[in-house]
Amino acid sequence: MFFTALTPSGMEYQVRPLSRDTATVKNRTMEEEELPLFAAIAGSSNPVSEPTVEQPDVLSVSELNSLARDVLAERFARVWVAGEVADLSRPASGHLYFSLKDDQATIRAVIWRNTAQRLPFDLADGQQILCCGKIDLYVVRGSYQLVVNRVESQGQGTLQQAFEQLRRDLESEGLFAAEHKKPIPWLPQRIVFVTSPTGAAIRDFLEVVRRRWSSVNVVIVPVRVQGTTAASEIANGIHLANQMQPPPDLIVTGRGGGSMEDLWCFNDEQVVRAIFNCSIPVISAVGHEIDVTLADLVADRRALTPSEAGEIAVPQESEVRSNLMVLRQRLVTLLQARLDAARQRLKLLCSRPVLTNPHEGLHLRARAVDDLEKELARGIELALQQGREQMSVMAARLSALSPLEVLQRGYSVTQSSEATVVRSIADIQIGQELHTQLANGKFTSIVESLESDLN
């Protein structure tokens, strides 16, 4: 077993007990001028490069950690550190716990509640900040952290900037638009989960699904959910699920919580487009509530955790049974009401005279038919009478205007051989043949002479 100690300049040493009376020191990056300082910490004035047979002051783990804490507190009482926020946690105590990192290293940090309440802005993963504080060693665990008492914002980190740029590009293409969201089926029979088969996400999801609706069939498509190949595996897994036969009713993809780097595969463009092009509804269940990925934005439904994904995917069996019982009772009540109404209507119909005494109705209608027949006969006779009278009047009028009536009074009508009525002496010539119509006959004559009354 080795115990770790630090010099003020940051050099690390390991102390390994050999026996109750002796100990050796292993120096990883030791420089000679630092040996006296470490020897003082270890409680010995002799050089530590060679084991001694004299009995040293043996330190307990807590004593060693306490000494290291004092050294760190004295050397790093006030430091400024710049880095990116990661793994931010907000427990109910009000303290803020997070990691401060750069490209090569990470340090844990804490902001106590009194300081956190006075922060001018809210911290978020991926944010670049400048912290002022002191280094403190937690004696119980032997780990050190930065106790922050002042924070200044420096903008977004590299990953966060890449996230925002890709989000804007994909949003401009309409990949996150609400009109592309497909509805989640109410009671899926077959669900495909694209995730790591050994992660906590699938265990939490299956536990919730079995508890809520045990008869659903869950198919796991095993993929990596962290690392350089994770994004392509997740995208291929979604394509595979989309092409399954018979097709599943629902696809879920996700993993448990982690840092932004851990979840970055769910911000990869090929994963986002695989979800967008999927013809089957997709639920994204990545990380925790505070973790928002591009997969969450493009999915048809976002679940805050894998457990919530199980609650969204299937209904609660007891609730379904309860709802079915309520619907059953409503249906029985509705049918009973309709049956009672039909009985009342039938009773009312049965009480009508047409059913109680049908012959009386027939007699009444037969009598009405007879009355109508008599009225029709009288109407026809009256119409004929009026017609005869009108015809007589019209005949008299026509007779008065008839040319034959004029002939009866001694007049005649003379026509030429061409049947043209002779109206004037100028219409005939001597020797012309004429035809004269009288009231009781006609005759033919030849013109021998002409005499005009105008001479």
Q: Residues 287, 208: one domain?
A: yes
Q: Residues 46, 16: one domain?
A: yes
Q: Residues 61, 90: one domain?
A: no
Tell me if 438 is assigned to some domain: yes
The answer to whether 316 and 287 are in contact (CB under 8 A) is no
Tell me if 192 is assigned to some domain: yes
Tell me if 127 is assigned to some domain: yes
Q: Residues 299, 411: one domain?
A: no
Q: Residues 131, 212: one domain?
A: no
Q: Residues 193, 296: one domain?
A: yes
Residues 292-322 pLDDT 10s: 899 999 999 999 999 999 999 999 988 888 9
Tell me if 454 is assigned to some domain: no
Q: Residues 127, 55: one domain?
A: no
Q: Which of residues 278, 294, 315 is at a domain's end?
A: 315
Q: Which of residues 315, 346, 380 is at a domain's end?
A: 315
Q: Residues 152, 61: one domain?
A: no
Q: Residues 184, 293: one domain?
A: yes
User: Does pTM top 0.75 for this prediction?
Assistant: no
**Strand order in 23-27's β-sheet?**
3-6, 12-17, 23-27
**Strand order in 250-255's β-sheet?**
217-222, 190-195, 250-255, 282-286, 301-302
pLDDT of residue 329: 93
How many domains are there within the chain?
Answer: 4
245, with CB counted inside 10 A (0-12, 13-18, 19+), is exposed
Tell me if 383 is assigned to some domain: no
pLDDT of residue 173: 94
Q: Which of residues 315, 338, 359 is at a domain's end?
A: 315
Tell me if 104 is assigned to some domain: yes
Q: CA 281 to CA 188: how far, in whole Å?
A: 11
Residues 163-188 pLDDT 10s: 888 999 999 999 999 999 999 999 99
Structural domain containing residue 191: 178-315
pLDDT of residue 361: 75
CATH number, domain at 198? Answer: 3.40.50.280
Q: Residues 182, 311: one domain?
A: yes
pLDDT of residue 107: 93
Tell me if 32 is assigned to some domain: yes
**Low-confidence residues of the chain: pLDDT under 50:** 1-46, 48
168, with CB counted inside 10 A (0-12, 13-18, 19+), is exposed
Q: Residues 418, 295: one domain?
A: no
Tell me if 340 is assigned to some domain: no
Q: Residues 151, 183: one domain?
A: no
